[in-house]
Amino acid sequence: MNTLKVILFTFLVVGLYSFYANSIPQTESHPPKKISLNAKLSEDEMIEAGERVYSTKGTCGICHAIGRKGPRGPDLNGVGLRAASRKPDVSAKAYLLESLLKPSVYLVDDFAPMMPPMANILTPGEVMVTVAYLQSLGGKVDITPEDVRAVMQVNASQVSVVPEADSSAPVTAETVVGTTASEPLVGDPEKGKVVYDTLCIACHNPDPALAGPIGPEIKGASRDLLEARVLLGEYPQGYKPKRDTKIMPPMAHLANDIENLTEFLK
Amino acid sequence: MKTQICKKSFLKLLFPLLILVFTGAAWGQELIELPEYRAFPWIGSRVAVWIAAEVHLMFAAFVLGVPMFAVIVELIGVLSSQERYDKMAREFTKLLAIAMSTTAIWGGVLLFLLLTLYPRFMNYLSEVFLPTLWIYPMLFFLEAFTLYIYYYGWERMRNGKSKWFHLYLGLQLNIVGTILLLVANAWVTFMMTPGGVDMKTGALMNIWEVIDNFSWWPINIHRLIANVTFGGAIVGAYSAFKFLHSKTDEDKAHYDWMGYVGNMIAIWSFLVLPFAGYWLMRELYQYDQTMGITMMGGFLSWLWIIQAVLISSLFLASNYYLWLGMERIDGGERYQKYIKYMLSVLLLCVWVWATPHSLVVTPEEVTLMGGVHHPVIGVFGVMSAKMTAVNYMILTSAIGFMFYRRANKVATVSYALQLNLLQAGIYAGVAAYVLYLGIDGYFVEPSIRVNKYSVWQVLAVLFAILSTTVIDLFLFKNSESLGKFHWGKMPQRSQYILIFIAVSFTWLMGLMGYARSAIRQHWHVYKVMEDTSVDAFAPTLGFAANVVSVCVLVFLGLVMFIFWLGSLADHKKEDASQTPEPAQ
């Protein structure tokens, strides 16, 4: 009799735990579908795929919201319409591409530059459908594979939207991406300090000569080290890291600030 | 002559056979193309492997955890010359001897399922881990033989120097068992946080870096402690089962005591587990932030609410068992009046801990509340509140155990009042400090809250537990006894509490196993080898819970069978001892 009681009791406890776990919110997590720029997608398919990227791989919903202000990012309701008027003479798709690939260039009032560049996270196809989805939130979907191909074939760090004569024309590398690579590389320590104070002190100490809560002291870091670590997430050959952690993500969008950071950290 | 003919015939036969074997095998390798996956009927490949792996892991945890305290209990028996410790250690080991073969059987089932259902993945793993696959079976042999000599040699090595050799065998059992654990952990952790391979091609670069990957040591430590906890809980359940079936007061007293010891081992090692878990999570965040976010803030975030419910239940149950235990101690009634306060604190902490961070609500409710967080209880859904609640639960349990320890004692030292006040001051001070950090945690940067405040809270609680235990040693030196422990005088419900604790630990272990696997998402080896099977998605928590429940029931069913087998041996011995002497 006691054995039967023990068996029934065990079933009861296990059953209660199962019941509780089944009574909380249930979601399945599916892997992101691979989206190629060459895939022939209808407008509806692009929007649907973009919505999926928004809520899964893109993890946009962690900061943004639709219909209300997000915890860290602006309300995206109607962004498809607003995008066309954010910057003078810049089309909605060009603005949205810039927002995804170089999010710190244009900041909505009251929001900090904390969004990572999506070129490091999403494939070109995923960028395209995400733009399509964002355009569908109040605007007209006119993004094409050529627009994305033109922008993402070059270094995302060089993305800079320039005014377009005809906002409905296809976005090309020449029109969307500013070619600033030919500018002389002269470091400005003040600009470097702004970058450091905006981004780096999340992990490094506000005084770069001291160790921070997560990152080590980096005063005197060489240009080679900064270029490798900041842009590629790697170390120069033969360099022995001060810490064994891999927490720092590559920040390719800081390519134009490497000289400034080097000057500031001297 | 006959021999020569035989030799020639043999060689004639052997030669083509060798050609057939070697070339045939070579052709076979060229001709047979490994499929990516095969399907398991009805329940699918994933669930089949899931159940086999989890049940194997549960048995493995038991056979690695129990020897740790079996040897310690045996050593206590030798040093204190108390036979009951030796008897208990032997009883622990009897369970091990039977469980070892069940562990091996489930290991075999798991291996065959993996080889047949996931051939490409297993092919890759065996390429990367080749040397460890040769070492592992050798270690397993050594472990099995050491265990059998340890158990079956118990009587023979009972006295004198041979007893010390027997203890050495117990030590060897633990060392080999731990190395086995480390090897198996290398395989599992590599899948989560791979290192030592080319991340694009998966090609092996450095075998040591493959083994010593980012999460290897955190998992090693976490599992080592968890095995002790698990072993203690199962021994507690075994004792409860035997207690409920005991017919004599002597047996009841023995199994009551054994259950108490098993439970104490489980609970005290369990108190250290959150710290090891914290370290593991921190390492995972450092390895890959996405992985950390997936676990704590992504689709797995609700899993931590289930975990909170489970651990809270364990805290409540273990405290209730202690309170019931005080009833069997003369003088224990002096502390009964504090139980209602301790229960209130525990319930409050359960409420805080089980508050979800984000509620699932309709847009109308969001508008009414002004956000996804509840205007009143929303503040309890964050880490600062939960860490404070957990530490308060640990503190309350420690105070409960302090009452239990002193239940039948009266301090006689002249400075008793001062030491009592000092202990009260330490507990009050630490409680205030933990609360202060918990409140201030709302107003500081996350990095400070995670990296500093949480650690300080934990250290403060550990300080309170250790310092008050040391003070007890001085306080109760030459103490006066109010009576004794009446082992066996426990209500039946106390034994169901022990069973509840074992079932809950087992279920918790299954849930955490799911969490560890699920954070890889659609990767066999994270960001190295993608899962392209039909099961390349994380199921709902409800589905996962149902599979965990099946694993728990299969495991506990087999454990009951093992208990029954063990009792068969006991009956045999009893029958033999009761056989009348033949007439002269």
**Quick check: is B66 in a domain?**
no
**Quick check: is A82 in a domain?**
yes
| Residue A52 lies in domain | 43-176
Q: Token pair for residue B197? A: 């391979």
Tell whether the model's pLDDT for residue B514 goes beyond 90. Answer: yes
Same domain membership, residue A160 and residue A49: yes
**Amino acid B15: pLDDT:** 47
Q: Using a CB-CB distance cutoff of 8 angstroms, which residues of chain B are in contact with residue A23?
A: 542
Cβ contact, residue pair B521, A31, below 8 Å: yes
CA-nearest of B339, B206, B327, B227 to B276 is: B227
- Whether B526 and B121 have beta carbons less than 8 Å apart is answered as no
For residue B216, the distance in angstroms to the closest alpha carbon of chain A comes to 15
* CB atoms inside a 10 Å sphere around CB B154: 18
**Amino acid B358: pLDDT:** 61
* CB atoms inside a 10 Å sphere around CB A63: 14
- Round to whole Å and give the CA distance between B305 and B309: 6
Which residues is B523 bridged to in the sheet?
B530
Cβ contact, residue pair A21, B306, below 8 Å: yes
* Residue in A with minimal Cα distance to B508: A17
Quote the Cα angle for B182-B187-B189, to 5°. 85
- Round to whole Å and give the CA distance between B186 and B215: 9
- Round to whole Å and give the CA distance between B341 and B128: 56
**Quick check: is A247 in a domain?**
yes
**Of A134, A151, A176, which residue is a domain's last?**
A176
DSSP result, A135-147: HHTTS-----HHH
**Quick check: is A112 in a domain?**
yes
Phi and psi at A159, nearest 5°, equal -70, 125
Cβ contact, residue pair A28, B244, below 8 Å: no
DSSP secondary structure letter of residue A159? B
Q: Using a CB-CB distance cutoff of 8 angstroms, which residues of chain B are in contact with residue A55?
A: none
For residue B23, the distance in angstroms to the closest alpha carbon of chain A comes to 42
| Total domains, chain A | 2
For residue A12, the distance in angstroms to the closest alpha carbon of chain B comes to 10
Q: Which residue has the higher pLDDT, B201 or B463?
A: B463
pLDDT digits (tens, 9 = 90+) for B308-353: 899 999 999 999 999 999 999 999 899 999 999 999 999 999 999 8
* CB atoms inside a 10 Å sphere around CB B393: 25
**Beta-sheet pairing, B409-410 with B523-525:** unpaired
Cβ contact, residue pair A2, B244, below 8 Å: yes
* Residue in B with minimal Cα distance to A69: B371
Q: Using a CB-CB distance cutoff of 8 angstroms, which residues of chain A are in contact with residue B507?
A: 13-14, 17
* Residue in A with minimal Cα distance to B550: A14
For chain B, helix (H) and strand (E) counts, in that order, are 19, 4
* Residue in B with minimal Cα distance to A21: B542
Tell whether the model's pLDDT for residue A73 goes beyond 90. Answer: no
Same domain membership, residue A49 and residue A170: yes
Share of chain A above pLDDT 90, in %: 15
**Quick check: is B186 in a domain?**
no
**Beta-sheet pairing, B480-481 with B409-410:** antiparallel
Cβ contact, residue pair A30, B537, below 8 Å: yes
CA-nearest of A135, A164, A119, A170 to A43 is: A135
Which CATH number covers residue A47?
1.10.760.10
- Round to whole Å and give the CA distance between B495 and B260: 10
Average pLDDT (A56-77) is 79
Same domain membership, residue A240 and residue A141: no
**Amino acid B478: pLDDT:** 87
Length of chain B, in residues: 584
Q: Which residue has the higher pLDDT, A207 or B401?
A: B401
- Round to whole Å and give the CA distance between A195 and A216: 17
Cβ contact, residue pair A14, B536, below 8 Å: no
B454 part of contact set with chain A, CB < 8 Å: no
Q: Using a CB-CB distance cutoff of 8 angstroms, which residues of chain B are in contact with residue A68?
A: 366
pLDDT tier at B570 (50, 70, 90 boundaries)?
low
Q: Using a CB-CB distance cutoff of 8 angstroms, which residues of chain B are in contact with residue A5?
A: 244
- Round to whole Å and give the CA distance between A181 and B333: 82
pLDDT tier at B571 (50, 70, 90 boundaries)?
low
- Round to whole Å and give the CA distance between B65 and B147: 13
* Residue among B298, B447, B499 whose CB faces A10 most closely: B499
- Round to whole Å and give the CA distance between B166 and B144: 15
Cβ contact, residue pair A11, B553, below 8 Å: yes
For testing the chain A interface, which of B549, B560, B564, B567 should be mutated: the one with the most A CBs within 10 Å? B549
Handedness of CA A68, A74, A80, A85 (dihedral sign): positive
DSSP result, B523-572: EEETTTEE--STT-SB--HHHHHHHHHHHHHHHHHHHHHHHHHHHHHHHH
Q: Token pair for residue A95? A: 């603005």
pLDDT tier at B558 (50, 70, 90 boundaries)?
very high
B44 part of contact set with chain A, CB < 8 Å: no
**Interface ipTM:** 0.86
**Amino acid A167: pLDDT:** 42
Q: What b/e readout covers B29-45, taking b as 16+ CB neighbours within 10 angstroms?
A: eeeeeeeebeeeeeeeb
**Quick check: is A184 in a domain?**
no
What are the distances in angstroms from CA A37 to CA A60, A129, A136, A152, B9? 21, 9, 19, 11, 68
**Quick check: is B362 in a domain?**
yes
Same domain membership, residue A156 and residue A83: yes
Q: Which residue has the higher pLDDT, B176 or B565?
A: B176
**Quick check: is B574 in a domain?**
no
CA-nearest of A93, A91, A90, A95 to A146 is: A93
Cβ contact, residue pair A24, B306, below 8 Å: yes
Cβ contact, residue pair A13, B500, below 8 Å: yes
Same domain membership, residue A161 and residue A200: no
**Of A118, A141, A176, which residue is a domain's last?**
A176
Q: Which residue has the higher pLDDT, B71 or A194?
A: B71
- 3-state SS track over B307-358: HHHHHHHHHHHHHHHHHHHHCCECCHHHHHHHHHHHHHHHHHHHHHHCCCCC
**Amino acid B436: pLDDT:** 95
Same domain membership, residue A196 and residue A160: no
Same domain membership, residue A203 and residue A163: no
Q: Whole-number mean pLDDT of chain B?
A: 86
Which residues of A touch chain B, with CB atoms under 8 Å apart?
2-3, 5-7, 9-11, 13-15, 17-18, 20-31, 59, 62, 67-68, 202-203, 213-214, 245-247, 249
pLDDT tier at B573 (50, 70, 90 boundaries)?
low
Cβ contact, residue pair B500, A62, below 8 Å: no
pLDDT tier at B451 (50, 70, 90 boundaries)?
confident
pLDDT tier at B22 (50, 70, 90 boundaries)?
very low
- Round to whole Å and give the CA distance between B215 and B493: 41
Handedness of CA B60, B66, B69, B75 (dihedral sign): negative
- Round to whole Å and give the CA distance between B487 and B249: 9
| Residue B360 lies in domain | 329-484
- Round to whole Å and give the CA distance between A104 and A253: 9
Average pLDDT (B372-398) is 83
**Quick check: is A10 in a domain?**
no
**Amino acid B364: pLDDT:** 63
Same domain membership, residue A195 and residue A111: no
| Total domains, chain B | 1
pLDDT tier at A184 (50, 70, 90 boundaries)?
very low
**Quick check: is B452 in a domain?**
yes
Same domain membership, residue A134 and residue A111: yes
**Amino acid B23: pLDDT:** 42
In which element (H, E) is residue A17 found?
Answer: helix A2-23
- Round to whole Å and give the CA distance between B501 and B494: 11
Residues 6+ apart with CB under 8 A from B91: B258
* Residue among B299, B549, B556 whose CB faces A17 most closely: B549
Same domain membership, residue A171 and residue A196: no
**Quick check: is A183 in a domain?**
no
In which element (H, E) is residue B409 found?
Answer: strand B409-410
Quote the Cα angle for A130-A136-A141, to 5°. 85
pLDDT digits (tens, 9 = 90+) for B112-155: 999 999 999 999 999 999 999 999 999 999 999 999 999 999 98
B555 part of contact set with chain A, CB < 8 Å: no
**Quick check: is A226 in a domain?**
yes
Q: Which residue has the higher pLDDT, B451 or B187?
A: B187
Which of helix, strand or coil describes residue B196? coil
**Quick check: is B512 in a domain?**
no
pLDDT tier at A211 (50, 70, 90 boundaries)?
confident
**Amino acid B576: pLDDT:** 56
Tell whether the model's pLDDT for residue B578 goes beyond 60. Answer: no
Cβ contact, residue pair A13, B504, below 8 Å: yes
**Quick check: is B85 in a domain?**
no
Tell whether the model's pLDDT for residue A230 goes beyond 70. Answer: yes
Work out how many CB contacts closer than 8 A connect A with B. Answer: 108
Cβ contact, residue pair A245, B245, below 8 Å: no
Cα A98 → chain centroid: 11
pLDDT tier at B546 (50, 70, 90 boundaries)?
very high
In B, residues 392-451, which contact A (CB 8 Å cutoff)? 447-448, 451
Q: Using a CB-CB distance cutoff of 8 angstroms, which residues of chain B are in contact with residue A24?
A: 302, 305-306, 541-542
For testing the chain A interface, which of B382, B507, B554 should be mutated: the one with the most A CBs within 10 Å? B507
For residue B17, the distance in angstroms to the closest alpha carbon of chain A comes to 49
Does the pTM of the predicted model rise above 0.90? no
B70 part of contact set with chain A, CB < 8 Å: no
**Amino acid A178: pLDDT:** 36
**Quick check: is B37 in a domain?**
no
Q: Token pair for residue A151? A: 């922008």
For residue B490, the distance in angstroms to the closest alpha carbon of chain A comes to 16
Handedness of CA B559, B562, B564, B566 (dihedral sign): negative
Q: Using a CB-CB distance cutoff of 8 angstroms, which residues of chain A are in contact with residue B299?
A: 27-29
What are the distances in angstroms from CA B214 to CA B189, B209, B312, B349, B392? 8, 9, 30, 33, 32
Average pLDDT (B358-364) is 60
* CB atoms inside a 10 Å sphere around CB A158: 19
DSSP secondary structure letter of residue B35? P
Q: Using a CB-CB distance cutoff of 8 angstroms, which residues of chain B are in contact with residue A17?
A: 306, 309-310, 504, 507, 545, 549
For residue B361, the distance in angstroms to the closest alpha carbon of chain A comes to 10
- Round to whole Å and give the CA distance between B122 and B130: 11
- Round to whole Å and give the CA distance between A213 and A210: 10
**Amino acid A154: pLDDT:** 39
* CB atoms inside a 10 Å sphere around CB B433: 17
B314 part of contact set with chain A, CB < 8 Å: no
B515 part of contact set with chain A, CB < 8 Å: no
* Residue in B with minimal Cα distance to A67: B363
**Of A112, A142, A176, which residue is a domain's last?**
A176
Residues 6+ apart with CB under 8 A from B400: B319, B322, B323, B342
Phi and psi at B197, nearest 5°, equal -130, 160
Same domain membership, residue A146 and residue A49: yes
Cβ contact, residue pair A21, B553, below 8 Å: no
Same domain membership, residue A171 and residue A49: yes
Query: For chain B, how far is it from start to end, CA to CA, in angstroms?
Result: 66
Cβ contact, residue pair B560, A7, below 8 Å: yes
Q: Which residue has the higher pLDDT, B151 or A155?
A: B151
B537 part of contact set with chain A, CB < 8 Å: yes
B567 part of contact set with chain A, CB < 8 Å: no
- Whether A132 and A54 have beta carbons less than 8 Å apart is answered as no
Q: Token pair for residue B162? A: 């041979």
Tell whether the model's pLDDT for residue B260 goes beyond 90. Answer: yes
Q: Using a CB-CB distance cutoff of 8 angstroms, which residues of chain A are in contact with residue B536?
A: 31
